[in-house]
Homo-oligomer: A and B are copies of this chain.
Amino acid sequence: MDEKTVTGWWQTALVRIRPGEIALRGYPIEQLIGSASFPQTIWLLLRGELPTPDEAALLEAALVAAVDHGPQAPSIAAARMAATCGVGLNNAVATGVNLLGDVHGGAGQQAMGMYTDIADCDLPLADAVAEYRRWHRYLPGFGHRFHPRDPRRDPLVGLVEDAVAKGVITDRYLKVAMEIERQLDPVPMNIDGATALIYASLGFPAELGRGLFVLSRSVGILAHAWEEQQSGVRIKGPIPRPLLADYTGPALRDL
């Protein structure tokens, strides 16, 4: 067990660190600072190469679209409560991010998988979608329990259509998403379906759908934790203090 074995256990293709030197995917950090945008840098680290400006613009729009959806979301609420408990802002953000699991943060990832499954199917598109619906009661990325029409759908789909027209991306996934929406009418695509359409069209694997959502929503989580921290409330519960939670267990009894 020599040094080589130990360091090999912690090898990475992401970043090269030497005394006085930091390079991301081969690019010296001093060349990236001031030249690469934040979304380009995100893409570079996750994918290995820099995107074109048009690709980066599409990614950026998706990152902007999902930053926040208010304190009713459990991830935001948990981060706000954490901020009142005497932990650091980083701990509050981590608390919120930890909740973006399969159910709360996974719809985009699942929609990417669905788009790919349907796009890979041998059947004509309309049949492929119909067949998919036969086997899946719930189609991720479509419909919203709160918004009759998600206000983020139109601008995002519009940007995808523009990017297809400009040849930035192919229409492989756009066609799939449009056909699903047609068959589900009047249930429209939601934020998860629309960002999934962008991420899939840009070539991200489905698992990174959740990863990119995490980066985006971290912004809202941080902003809410910070707003709450400044309020001065201590130990904030889910409902104001005079309201007791209901008890539904056995009546009082002796040991």
Contact = CB atoms under 8 A, between A and B. Distances in A.
Contacts of A25: 249-250
Interface stretch (A31-39, A169-177, A178-186): A31-39
A7 B240 CA distance: 9
A78 B99 CA distance: 9
- Closest 5 pairs (CB-CB, A-B): A86-B103, A86-B102, A13-B249, A11-B246, A87-B101
A28 interface: yes
A84 B72 CA distance: 14
A95 B98 contact: yes
A218 interface: yes
A53 interface: no
Interface stretch (A111-119, A123-131, A226-234): A226-234
B84 A90 contact: no
Given A46-B226, A64-B41, A249-B16, A81 B74 contact: yes
Contacts of A39: 38
Nearest to A210: B89
A79 B158 CA distance: 36
Interface in A48-82: 48, 50, 57, 60-61, 63-65, 67-75, 77-78, 81-82
Contacts of A23: 252
A122 B219 CA distance: 37
Contacts of A48: 249-250
Interface in A131-162: 145-152, 154-156, 158-159
A241 interface: yes
Given A98-B90, A101-B85, A219 B229 contact: no
Contacts of A104: 84-86, 235
Contact of A238 (B24, B151, B239): B239
Contact of A241 (B105, B146, B219, B242): B146
Contacts of A11: 245-248
A12 B71 contact: yes
A75 B247 CA distance: 18
Contacts of A82: 74, 78, 98-99, 101
A19 B149 CA distance: 8
Contacts of A95: 78, 94-95, 98-99
Contacts of A13: 227, 247-250
B77 A87 contact: no
Given A30-B152, A39-B38, A9 B99 contact: no
